[in-house]
Amino acid sequence: MIRDDTEFISPRSIERLFGLRTKTQPDRKAITLQHRAANPHNEARTPIRKVANGDSLPEIDQQQLLKYASKFKGVDYEFGAEYPDNGQFDCSSFTRYVYRHFDVDLPRVARDQAKEGVRVSQEELRPGDLLFFSVPGRFKNNHIPGHVGIYWGDGKMIHTLEEGVGVTVESLNKEKFRNNYLTARRVAQ
């Protein structure tokens, strides 16, 4: 909600977007934020690799990445959703979740993911590259990424954007993607 040029966000949205638990304190008009446990089941995991902004990108099998991503086809979309917490994704939680499975850490939101890795032209796209788009009306200008998907190959991407459709593979030739394309980033080799 925007009021007097100030944007307000609900505690539920804070929890979903930033992975924090909130506790409202109405008498003090404050919200307490608490980090969720990163690994509540204490599972042994390989350390998550941060994405480099240079020549030492993490190496992963892009076909395995696409195979894993395709397991989520049909999982519904909800803005701010963080799978598996509520069984839904938004676009950036989907890309983050898929890459995290391969021990690659991406920021939570599309505009921050667009700063990771190295820029690639449309002619250089390879399966697994991240594609970024503006979402008209979401930000003050249309040069800020508001949507992200994973390049599938053959002029398609796997992403999630609409409730009721969920994770799907779509052609980049659709007008909504052609008209709002911003950039592509390679975050792994």
**How much is the pLDDT for 56?**
78
| Nearest Cα to Cα of residue 189 among 69, 51, 96 | 51
Q: What is the pTM of this model?
A: 0.74
Dist CA 145 CA 133 (whole Å):
5
Kindly state which CATH superfamily the domain 51-186 is placed in.
Answer: endopeptidase domain like (from Nostoc punctiforme) (3.90.1720.10)
Domain positions in the chain? 1-45, 51-186
Dist CA 39 CA 56 (whole Å):
27
Concatenating the DSSP letter of every residue in 19-41 gives -EEEEEETTTTEEEEEEPPS-TT
Return the residue matching tokens 């395709």.
Answer: 70
pLDDT tens-place values along the chain, 189 residues long: 445 555 556 666 666 555 555 655 555 455 555 444 444 433 444 445 566 565 578 999 999 999 999 999 999 999 999 998 889 999 999 999 999 999 999 999 999 999 999 999 999 999 999 999 999 888 888 899 999 999 999 999 999 999 999 999 999 999 999 999 999 999 998
Report DSSP state, residue 96: H
The angle, 0 to 180 degrees and rounded to 10, between the axes of the packed helices 91-101 and 62-70 is 130
Tokens encoding 46:
């390989």
**DSSP β-ladder status, 30-35 and 20-25:** antiparallel
> Would the CA dihedral through 108, 52, 159, 124 be positive or negative?
positive
Report DSSP state, residue 58: P
